[in-house]
Structure 1
Amino acid sequence: MVATDATAWDEEYDTIGVGSGIGGLSTAITAAERGAKVLVIEKFELLGGVSALSSGQLWPGPNHLAEAAGIHDSPEKAKEYIDYLGQGHASPYVRDQYLIRSKECLKYFDEKIGIHMSVIRGLPDYYYPEVPGSAPEGRYIETIPFPAAKLGEYQKKVLTSPYGAYYSYTTSNEWVEMQAGGESLGSCIRRHLANDERCAGAGMAAAQVSAALQRGVEFRTSTEVVELVTEDSRVVGVIARDSSGTRRIRARLGVMLATGGYDWNRRFVGSYDALPVAGTMALPTVTGDHIVLASKVGAIPLPSRAPGQSPIFVGYKVPTEKIYGRGPAYRLWVPGRPHSIIVNFKGKRFSQDSFYPDVVTKVSRFDGQEDGMVNWPAWIVFDQRMLNSRGMPPAPPGQPLPAGMAIEADTIPELAVKAGIEPKGLQTTIERFNKMCSDGVDEDFKSGSNPWGRLMAGDPGLKNPNMAPISQAPFYAVRLERVTMGVPTAGLPIDGDGRVENSAGGIVPGLYAAGNSAAWGDWGGGFNSGIAGMRGLLYGYRAALHMTAT
């Protein structure tokens, strides 16, 4: 679509951000700080995007906050870690730029913009200490709790998680401290709720929206971008649609696509992630708009990794629950809770089921010589003590599970029959698992050997934080589901300045992408919590610098 003269435009801005997650807001704040007139268009009714629903962790590698805390790190070790996880899929140059620029970007937002952050003490890299270059702490960053009252009239216009206060009103630092005997999680949540202090991804979103408003950024919610406008192959604006109709809006310097992944687009999930069936915890507006829009100007999505390497999580279905008016809802499961295991249809354990990346990899295993998907379907099997001590959201500890969510029985063989699991296999597996719990050593899959898994799901009072017997009736089985959370296999290819590349490897002038809309050329096949958020912050920042430099 071509705009021929200025009268064709209904409005004009310097930059337009499509999406209000961490990538879109990073672009908006940086551009506005540098004097640009900025508009952010959000398809959902509230601001913050999928990143507002996340843990809010950032993984920049070596950074100024860790240095200030006396934690020594080196770029060489961080490169070694990324290269090991990337397994050859990452570009060494883009990887190096990620580490250099992330440190710069983090310092910019912390010190220049005033979005104050802290290092997460005691939280190790996913694969510490097994993977070369991994670190015991210092590489995770989070925003400090943000008083939402500072948002004024926007206090109710920024997302918090609909999945419970835990996601938006507690910090990772508090979680780590709790595991070491500090303040209880419930106490932290009550304290933050009382003051509406947003934490985690919700805290970052609130802090970013506040920073954007201070710099004159304009927001449009419940508005969909339906077309990119081009002149001589350059993207020069958008066509946006809301309840009142469509408007042609010019972007003099550039358009940022930061619409997230494509979780609610079944065709894209099936094609790119190789998942014919999957649930999601993403916003219902995350439908792959960046792919549709960019494809019309010559850019096509590229996979960053094999689908089996994507951080598509495991979770479960809650048949009676509706989120965003849609049901059934899906919930994330963090494996490794005491008194629980994960088994396949033969009733056998097949992974280090205290560490979700290992579970995710193993459920994807296909074997043409045996049974096809040898570990799928799979079930979470647990006893009453797990429910009493931990609960299973949306059910709090000690409360019954929602109807239809679990299969329940008084004996393990009866449970297996009801669930469709091989009874003898499940009985044998649980007997062996319970026996190993007495010594606290998992001789089969090393459950509890990963520090990250112990910290996130374990009980520090046990011999093995992730192992406790499954022996108190009634017993339960919940079928495992694949659950997407906005971090996809494919995205738009970009360069180090966030510029979108076309199918021939050239640049689409005027078009940028960040966050989960952009392919992972810097990390390739690897994943570690905090990368998605950091990439959003980084490439939004870099894109704004590039736009405003012209």
Structure 2
Amino acid sequence: MAWDEEYDTVSVGSGIGGLSAAITAAEHGAKALVLEKFELLGGVSALSSGQLFPGPNHLAEAAGIEDRPEMARQYIDHLGQGQAMPEIRDEYLSGSRECLLFFDKIIGIPMQVIQGLPDYYYPSVPGSAPEGRYVEVRPFAASQLGDYQKKVLISPYGLYYSYSTSSEWVEMQQGGESLRSCIQRHVTNDERCAGAGMAAAQVLAALNRGVNLRTSTEVIELITDDNDGRVIGVVARDRAGTHRIRARRGVILATGGYDWNKPFVRRFDGLPDTGSMALPTVTGDHIVLASKLGVIPMPSRVPSQSPIFVGYKVPTELIYGIKPSYRLLVPGQPHSMIVNRKGKRFSNDSFYPDVVTKAARFDGQEDGMVNWPAWLVFDQRMLDRKGLLPVLAGQPLLEGMASSAQSLSELANEIGIDGNGLQQTVERFNCMCSNGVDEDFQRGINPWGRLMAGDPKLKNPNMAPVSQPPFYAVRLERVTMGVPTAGLPTDQNGRVKNAAGDVIDGLYAVGNSSAWMDWGGGFNSGIAGMRGLLYGYRAALHMTAF
């Protein structure tokens, strides 16, 4: 068979999983290639918060934070609701510790523990911890990349996403340096943070190890050996045409989710209409490629825990040439609430996992989706003090973002919900704000939600009255961010399995291209990123072991 090029490993996608595999393979002597469909490197993970959730780790221990593996196992078991296989869970925790040590000490990607950031469900869930289980990259000086400085993604959704760390956010909430000051300092020095910082650090690590990085290159076919079915290469297409590239050790599918493939979103997630903040090239290529080899994508076993967020449209904003754009909502801002068509609150609307779960409630054929559609309702004070991205505090909302009125009844009529229900809900909420206790949905009881959206100066950081006109309502949307419900079934080394459960030699899937099934369906920020880093690492170790 004639080949245009030959490599040991080929990563299809340049997110955290694809780069992790390429860096690890190169460190172990392999000749590695990364093919990225988008015009810039970094994938969806470059647009993320960059948080990793490894469980107990050496960085936390160095900071004097105590943790025990048995507690982390208990927490993960709760997230998975009995679906996680114990051996996969244990391998995740032990492997994450090993993987972090490798990238921190051997590869030299500087990371830090996010002190003061609790697990999602701390303290209400057994095994949860008040801090120490989240890790992030330190601010990374992009000038180190040389000619690649402009070839690595930063978020198009605003400076906040790429030039501030979670550690700085926590410190700001506790009275430290303002986030605006941090952002200005990082922008001035082009010090990239969060997912953008991890992407930049990984690209530098890859370049230093001779990894070949290509953008605007789409993989359109997997090549198999006619004798045994092993995957031995890919057909890639770029501006110059198609190329047959041999992969002597294996091909790693790391293309992310399928956000912009509407039939896939409808089929796997049961959502006929969603928006996305993912790259426009995230279209489920891994599913299309692997399906030709008899691979059936597998869904999460706990669909209500799938990380499909709530957010909103920004009709006048143009991102990636797609209009309108969408933003994720981190609910719980003071002077705001989330209501259904009856004008009623239905969740702990300071904690997005609870909002997402309750918004998806189906209450029989007669009532259907009782809490969807839903609206974010807020007053002028929220807009003045917090804003609503991309609108900063004190600025007017962009055209088409929200409906507004001088009274709650007028607002309800404008958006078509029950006016009496909204009036009663707001009156009760405002009354509860006086003592800072939400007797209905325990808003503000979750430390994670208080840190992410609250005002520490308030009695309850997430509660303040909705009372100063004009009043606003934003219709919420389901918004994806590259973390899908379905993915390719794999073993503990990332090897893809076909419909019969047999491993396909030479084919691996990592990160959001792989299914969560055996791990368990539960979700906690940082797990998606850690899975990408870990299984890219493990896949490369497996490929280079022979």
Deviation per residue, 1:123-168 (Å, 9 max, x gap):
0000000011000000000000000000000000000000000000
Match of 1:162 in 2: 156
Match of 1:386 in 2: 382
- Counterpart-to-counterpart distance in 2, 1:309 and 1:460: 29
SS of the residue 1:302 aligns to: coil
Would you say 1:438 and 2:434 are equivalent positions? yes
- Counterpart-to-counterpart distance in 2, 1:473 and 1:305: 44
- CA drift of 1:304 comes to 2.0
For residues 257-276 of structure 1, the aligned pairs below 5 Å read 257-276=253-272
Would you say 1:184 and 2:140 are equivalent positions? no
Match of 2:75 in 1: 81
Match of 1:463 in 2: 459
Would you say 1:133 and 2:121 are equivalent positions? no
Match of 1:373 in 2: 369
- Counterpart-to-counterpart distance in 2, 1:502 and 1:432: 55
Aligned letter for 1:246? Answer: T
- CA drift of 1:176 comes to 0.2
Match of 1:118 in 2: 112
Deviation per residue, 1:329-370 (Å, 9 max, x gap):
000110000000000000000000000000000000001165
Aligned letter for 2:384? Answer: N
Aligned letter for 2:175? Answer: G
Match of 1:41 in 2: 35
Task: Give TM-score, length-normalised by structure 1.
Answer: 0.98
Aligned letter for 1:310? Answer: S
- Counterpart-to-counterpart distance in 1, 2:61 and 2:240: 51
- CA drift of 1:371 comes to 1.4
Aligned letter for 2:132? Answer: G
Match of 1:283 in 2: 279
SS of the residue 1:408 aligns to: strand
Match of 1:316 in 2: 312
Match of 1:234 in 2: 230
- CA drift of 1:85 comes to 1.0
- Counterpart-to-counterpart distance in 1, 2:382 and 2:533: 38
Match of 1:528 in 2: 524
Does the CA contact (< 8 Å) of 1:62 and 1:139 recur in 2? yes
For residues 386-465 of structure 1, the aligned pairs below 5 Å read 386-465=382-461
Q: 1:458 to 1:127 in 2, by over 3 A?
A: same
Deviation per residue, 1:8-47 (Å, 9 max, x gap):
1010000000000000000000000111111100000000
- Counterpart-to-counterpart distance in 2, 1:166 and 1:91: 37
Q: Answer with 517-526 or 448-457: which moved more.
A: 517-526
Would you say 1:20 and 2:11 are equivalent positions? no
Does the CA contact (< 8 Å) of 2:13 and 2:255 recur in 1? yes
Deviation per residue, 1:288-326 (Å, 9 max, x gap):
000000111121110123432201000000111110111
- Counterpart-to-counterpart distance in 2, 1:439 and 1:280: 38
- Counterpart-to-counterpart distance in 2, 1:390 and 1:502: 49
SS of the residue 2:150 aligns to: coil
SS of the residue 1:351 aligns to: coil
- Counterpart-to-counterpart distance in 2, 1:398 and 1:123: 28
SS of the residue 2:434 aligns to: helix
Match of 1:325 in 2: 321
Q: Answer with 136-145 or 81-90: which moved more.
A: 81-90
Match of 1:54 in 2: 48
SS of the residue 1:373 aligns to: coil
Deviation per residue, 1:404-458 (Å, 9 max, x gap):
1100000000000001110000000000000000110000000000000000000
Does the CA contact (< 8 Å) of 2:303 and 2:521 recur in 1? no
- CA drift of 1:521 comes to 3.6
- CA drift of 1:522 comes to 4.8
Identity of aligned residues (%): 76
Aligned letter for 2:42? Answer: G
Match of 2:293 in 1: 297
Match of 1:356 in 2: 352
Task: Give TM-score, length-normalised by structure 2.
Answer: 0.99
- Counterpart-to-counterpart distance in 2, 1:496 and 1:69: 30
Instruction: Specify every segment of 5 or more residues in structure 1 that has no aligned partner in the other structure, as ranges.
Output: none
Does the CA contact (< 8 Å) of 1:89 and 1:304 recur in 2? no
- Counterpart-to-counterpart distance in 2, 1:88 and 1:470: 40
Match of 2:188 in 1: 194
- Alignment: residue pair count: 544
CA RMSD of aligned residues (A): 0.7
- Counterpart-to-counterpart distance in 1, 2:323 and 2:204: 32
